[in-house]
């Protein structure tokens, strides 16, 4: 058990299991992109996706460029429903294929807004790649191209995921103990 701010969390997904899921995702991304002639953009959605994107990146077997963007729809343990673009893209995506790397897809508000933003800015193709997915909460019909692991609808922290900015540094993933 660990305590972050006012809440208690219990172990949920081990570091090894997280890495296994990321290796599975990397295999599928490689299968689709290995022989590509363009240089796709791997887009890290800051801050939560930093550990995931880092691990994924070292498993990719094609030339790719790392770009970041900061989005946010969460306050505390709840999605606000409004997706804010907190920081612009760190590079131009016009004419490029983009692979979005998300830590977790919950309602899908963030990922769908981000996909639209990228297509708006001239990306030629946008693939969605997420480490974790909460299918019970997802309300969109946009297809998730690569999913590491589906999990139940519960609030989690660790391996990049935070509760009011704390917990990102945890090696394992923890679930709220209610
Ligand atoms: P969505 O827009 O509802 O799909 O939410 C996606 C974003 O909310 C993720 O990128 C995370 O930053 C955050 N988020 C969703 N679920 C959790 C969770 O269980 N713990 C921590 N952050 C979460």
* 146 falls within a domain: yes
* 169 falls within a domain: no
Determine which of 71-75, 100-104, 106-110, 166-170 has the lowest per-residue pLDDT on average.
Answer: 71-75
Helical pair 15-33 and 50-57, crossing angle rounded to 10 deg = 60
Q: How confident is the model at residue 178 (pLDDT cuts 50, 70, 90)?
A: confident
Residue 132: other Cβ atoms inside 10 A? 23
Rounded to the nearest angstrom, the distance between the alpha carbon of 36 and the centre of ligand 1 is 31
Indicate if 125 belongs to the active site.
Answer: no
Work out the average pLDDT over 20-46. Answer: 97
Domain count across the chain: 1
First and final CA of the chain: distance in angstroms? 12
CA atoms within 13 A on the CB side of 169: 4
Q: Distance between alpha carbon 79 and the CA centroid of its chain, in Å?
A: 15
How do strand 7-13 and strand 97-105 relate by DSSP bridges? unpaired
Minimum CA distance residue for ligand 1 atom 16: 106
> Tokens representing 72?
């946010």
Q: Which domain holds residue 136?
A: 15-150
Number of H helices and E strands in the chain, helices first, is: 3, 10
Determine which of 44-53, 72-81, 89-98, 141-150 has the lowest per-residue pLDDT on average.
Answer: 72-81
* 155 falls within a domain: no
* 145 falls within a domain: yes
Work out the average pLDDT over 22-26. Answer: 98
25-53 CB burial, b ≥16 within 10 A, e <16: bbeebeeebeeeeeebbbbbbbbbbbbbb
* 68 falls within a domain: yes
Q: Residues lining ligand 1, judged by CB closer than 6 Å?
A: 48, 73-74, 79, 102-111, 155-157, 161
* 2 falls within a domain: no
Minimum CA distance residue for ligand 1 atom 8: 74
The stretches of 34-164 forming alpha helices (DSSP H) are 50-57, 109-120
Task: Please state, in angstroms and rounded to a whole number, the distance separating the CA atoms of residues 153 and 52.
Answer: 20
What CATH number is given to the structural domain containing 58? 3.40.50.2020
pLDDT at 90 (0 to 100): 87
Rounded to the nearest angstrom, the distance between the alpha carbon of 35 and the centre of ligand 1 is 33
- Per-residue pLDDT of 70-102, as tens digits, reads 976 655 666 666 666 656 888 999 999 999 999
* 48 falls within a domain: yes
* 9 falls within a domain: no
pLDDT at 17 (0 to 100): 98
> Tokens representing 47?
């801050």
Which atom belonging to ligand 1 lies closest to the Cα atom of 113? 2
Residue 97 · residue 125 · CB < 8 Å: yes
């Amino acid at each position: 058990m660990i305590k972050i701010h006012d809440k208690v969390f219990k172990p949920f997904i081990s570091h090894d299991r997280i890495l296994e899921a990321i290796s599975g995702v990397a295999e599928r991304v490689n299968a689709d992109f290995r022989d590509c002639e363009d240089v796709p953009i791997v887009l890290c959605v800051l801050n939560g996706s930093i550990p995931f994107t880092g691990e994924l990146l070292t498993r990719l077997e094609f030339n790719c460029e790392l770009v970041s963007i900061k989005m946010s729809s969460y306050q505390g343990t709840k999605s606000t429903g409004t997706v804010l673009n907190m920081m612009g893209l760190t590079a131009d995506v016009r004419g490029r294929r983009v692979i979005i790397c998300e830590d977790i897809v919950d309602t899908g508000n963030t990922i769908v807004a981000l996909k639209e933003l990228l297509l708006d800015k001239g990306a030629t193709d946008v693939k969605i790649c997420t480490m974790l997915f909460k299918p019970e909460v997802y309300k969109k019909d946009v297809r998730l191209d690569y999913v590491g692991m589906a999990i139940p609808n519960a609030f989690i922290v660790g391996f990049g995921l935070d509760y009011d900015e704390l917990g990102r540094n945890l090696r394992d993933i923890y679930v709220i103990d209610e």
